[in-house]
Structure 1
C-alpha cells in the first residue's frame, strides 16, 4: 500500500484465478456464499446481507472477470486485508488492478467500471466494520508491472512470461520498452497442470486425488503420498514445463538471444521440474510482485500529474 499526500491510499490488487494478491497478502480464490452467518469465522466478509468465505479452493477460469460478482467481492476482501494490517477501517482508496495483456485493449474500461460500481461501500470483514470510498481506479496489463521498477537494468531483448493459474501472458521488452505488438495470452495456466495431474492419477489408479496435494507437490516438489503417485505427478509436471517452453518458442523465444523473466505462481513449477539453464532465465519468486507493480505505476502517475 502506498499513500498520497492527500491521505488517499493506493492499493494494488492482482485479481488472479488461483489467488488474489495485494502487496502484502495472498488469498486463494475459493469463495462460498451464505445467507446466514457461517459456523467458522475465519476469512468471512459480510456485505449486502450475505456472508462470503474465502480461501477454500480456486475460482474456475472465465474469460470475462465481470461476468459475476466474485471479483468485486474479492476486491473488498483484499482492500480490507491490506487496511487491517495497519489498523485502519475507514479510508479513501485508489485501486490499481490489471488484466491479461491481450484483454486490456477491449476490457479495461468495463473492468474499471465494474470495480468502481459503488463510490462508497460499507461491509464487515472478520468481525471488523469497514467504510471505504473509492476515488479512482487504473487498470494495467498484467505481468509488466512486476518488473517495471527495475526495467532500467534490462539490456537488449527480453521476454516476460507471467504464468498464473488461468493464463500465461507473454511480452517482449526491447531496449527497456514493452512491445505491445509482441504480446500474447495463452490458456496455459497452472490450473491446466492440476487438471492433467488429477486426470492422470484417475486414469492410472481409478482414484480422485485432492487438488491440495497436487498444489503442494508442484509448489515444493514433494508430498506425503506413495511413490507411485509421486511418479505420475512428476511426469505430468515435467510435461507441463515442456509445454510452457514450446509455447514460448512458438513466439520466437531463443535462450541464446534473449533473457527470459518468469513471474507468477508457475515460476515454482519451472524451478522444480523444468530442464533449463539458469544463465539466461530469471524466476521472480515474489508472488505479490505484480500487485506491488500496480501500486508503483499508480503512484508514479500521480507524481507526474
Structure 2
C-alpha cells in the first residue's frame, strides 16, 4: 500500500486528509474514541498551535508522531471507503518530501527516521489498534513529485520551459524544467513562505491597531470568511499580502527567470491562499500561469 505524506511546516497532508502541524503530549488519559494516538505508553493529540519552524524535522519525535496521525487518518478513510481492515498488519510504502535546499543533506537521515529498520510499529488511534511496517520509504524533492503527477495531466513534458513555484509554510520551493528535464541551476528554496507573511501581518496589525491576530484570523480575512473584522483592518491585511506576492515574484527576476518565457505553475497551500493576490500582481508580468487547486 502506498501512502504519501506531506510533512509541512504549517499542515500535514495525505491524499485524503489535512490537519495542522501541531502535536502535544497529554497530561491526563483521554476519553474513549478521542482524536488521540497512543504510542509507546504515551498519548498524543494534534493541536492548532503548529510546531515552530524546524529546518531538521528529525531532531525529535514530533514529526514522526504527526506522520502516524496522517497514516492513521488515511487508513481510517480507506477503511470506510475501501473496506480496509485495520486489524491486519499494513505493509506501507511511505512517500515523503524535502525542500530542494535540504534534499541532498537530509535525504538519507529523513528516510531512516521513518523507516525504523523495517520494524513493526504498533499504535492506537481513537482507541483502535494499528500495526504497520514501512516496507520502503522514498524521499522526493518537494514540488518535483507534484510535477510528475501534473506532467501527464497537462502534458508538461513537451513544454519548452516550466517554472514550478511551491509556496509552503516556511519555504518557497522552485524549479525550472526544460522539456521535462530539471535545470539544476534553478532548483532551490527561498525562506519566504506563508509563515513569514503571517508574522509580518501580525506585527503590523499589533503596532497600528493593538489587535492580536492569529494565523486563522489572517486566513479568514484573506479568504473573506466571516464579517467580524473591521474594514480598515481587512484592507491593511490585503495590502500586506499584495506586497508579499510582489516581493516574491520580484525575486525570480533577480534569479534570472523571466515569466515571459516560461509556463509558471503555482503549487501548495500557500499558493491557494494567495491565489487572488497572485492574479492581481501577475497583471504586470507576461507569460502563462496557473494556480493548482485554486478557484479564481
Q: Same fold (TM over 0.5)?
A: yes
1:208 to 2:212 alignment: yes
Partner of 2:77: 85
Bigger drift between 147-156 and 224-233 goes to 147-156
- 8 Å contact 1:72–1:115 — kept in the other structure? yes
Structure 2: which 5+ runs fail to align? 80-84
1:284 to 2:288 alignment: no
Report the alpha carbon displacement of residue 178 of structure 1 after superposing the two structures with TM. Answer: 1.8
The root-mean-square deviation of aligned C-alpha atoms, in Å, is 1.8
Partner of 1:51: 43
Aligned equivalents of 1:269 and 1:249: distance in 2?
23
- 8 Å contact 2:272–2:292 — kept in the other structure? no
Aligned equivalents of 1:223 and 1:189: distance in 2?
25
1:166 aligns to what SS in structure 2? Answer: coil
1:67 to 2:73 alignment: no
1:263 to 2:271 alignment: no
Report the alpha carbon displacement of residue 27 of structure 1 after superposing the two structures with TM. Answer: 1.1
Aligned equivalents of 2:18 and 2:149: distance in 1?
21
Q: 1:38 to 1:172 in 2, by over 3 A?
A: same
Report the alpha carbon displacement of residue 79 of structure 1 after superposing the two structures with TM. Answer: 1.0
Partner of 1:141: 141
Aligned equivalents of 1:79 and 1:190: distance in 2?
25
Aligned equivalents of 1:149 and 1:166: distance in 2?
23
- 8 Å contact 1:44–1:126 — kept in the other structure? yes
Structure 1: which 5+ runs fail to align? 1-8, 287-305
Q: Deviations over 1:130-177 (max 9, x none)?
A: 111111111000011112134251211111111101100010111111
Aligned residues: 277
- TM-score w.r.t. the length of structure 1 is 0.86
Aligned equivalents of 1:142 and 1:120: distance in 2?
27
Bigger drift between 106-115 and 48-57 goes to 48-57
- TM-score w.r.t. the length of structure 2 is 0.88
Q: Deviations over 1:47-78 (max 9, x none)?
A: 11211111413221111111111111111111
- 8 Å contact 1:35–1:50 — kept in the other structure? no
1:132 to 2:132 alignment: yes
Report the alpha carbon displacement of residue 222 of structure 1 after superposing the two structures with TM. Answer: 4.6
Partner of 1:158: 162
2:137 aligns to what SS in structure 1? Answer: strand
Report the alpha carbon displacement of residue 250 of structure 1 after superposing the two structures with TM. Answer: 2.1
Q: 1:41 to 1:190 in 2, by over 3 A?
A: farther
- 8 Å contact 2:165–2:174 — kept in the other structure? yes
Q: 1:165 to 1:147 in 2, by over 3 A?
A: same
Report the alpha carbon displacement of residue 93 of structure 1 after superposing the two structures with TM. Answer: 0.8
- 8 Å contact 1:143–1:160 — kept in the other structure? yes
Aligned equivalents of 1:223 and 1:236: distance in 2?
19
Aligned equivalents of 2:78 and 2:182: distance in 1?
35
Report the alpha carbon displacement of residue 245 of structure 1 after superposing the two structures with TM. Answer: 0.3
Q: 1:41 to 1:30 in 2, by over 3 A?
A: farther
